[in-house]
Amino acid sequence: MEVPKVKVIKVQVEGGKASTAPPLGPALTEVGLNPSEVVAKINEITKPYEGLTVDVKIYVDLDTKNYRIELGLPTTTSLLLKYAGATEPSGDPMHKKVGDVKLEDVIKIAIMKKPQLTAKSLKAAVKTILGTARAIGLTVDGKDPKQVIQEINEGVHDELFKKYEEQWRGAYAGV
């Protein structure tokens, strides 16, 4: 059995805004794919990441012209900044805050980032994301993320966590 010849095309695109402009269009044409069709598919699957830069890998079987698209997730920092409406991290996070994010959004980011996190529970994952929020100068619901971590430990937000527990369990588990 012959091993398929596969070419990998790697690009960074803004979520939902890939175009057939170089370098993507010519690279797709070179391997015999229809650039408009592939770009439409990339835009469809990156739409949830609008406003963020996403790494995209396109695996092309050079013999059959079949392809699959793989997304790299945006960084935790870029997701937090997007939800906070901030453009960049604080250079002095302890004294200069650059934005505020809702705890509910932090939970959504934790679920999105589950494949890259080693956390065994949603609460542990959220605490990891809160650490990043603190490090880049964000507050969470108007509070220092360290205080929110303390509240999580005390069970203050248990009702909110229950709302997302099923999503966490199903995230990237083949569901």
- Using the 8-state DSSP alphabet, how is residue 67 labeled? E
Q: What is the rounded distance in angstroms from the CA atom of residue 13 to the CA atom of residue 145?
A: 31
Q: What CATH number is given for 6-72 in this structure?
A: 3.30.1550.10
Could you tell me which CATH number the domain at 76-170 has?
A: 1.10.10.250
Q: Are 125 and 108 in contact (CB under 8 A)?
A: no
Q: Residues spanned by CATH 1.10.10.250 within the chain?
A: 76-170
Listed in order, the ranges of the chain carrying CATH 3.30.1550.10 are: 6-72
- 49-76 average pLDDT score: 89
Q: Kindly report whether the peptide bond that precedes residue 4 is cis, defined as omega within 30 degrees of 0.
A: no
Query: Model-level pTM?
Result: 0.72
pLDDT tens track for 7-26: 999 998 888 998 887 889 99
Reference 114, options 155, 174, 54; nearest CA is: 174
Query: Encoding tokens for residue 44?
Result: 């469809």
More confident residue, 95 or 49: 95
Instruction: Rounding to the nearest 10 degrees, give the CA dihedral for residues 122, 123, 125, 129.
Output: 130
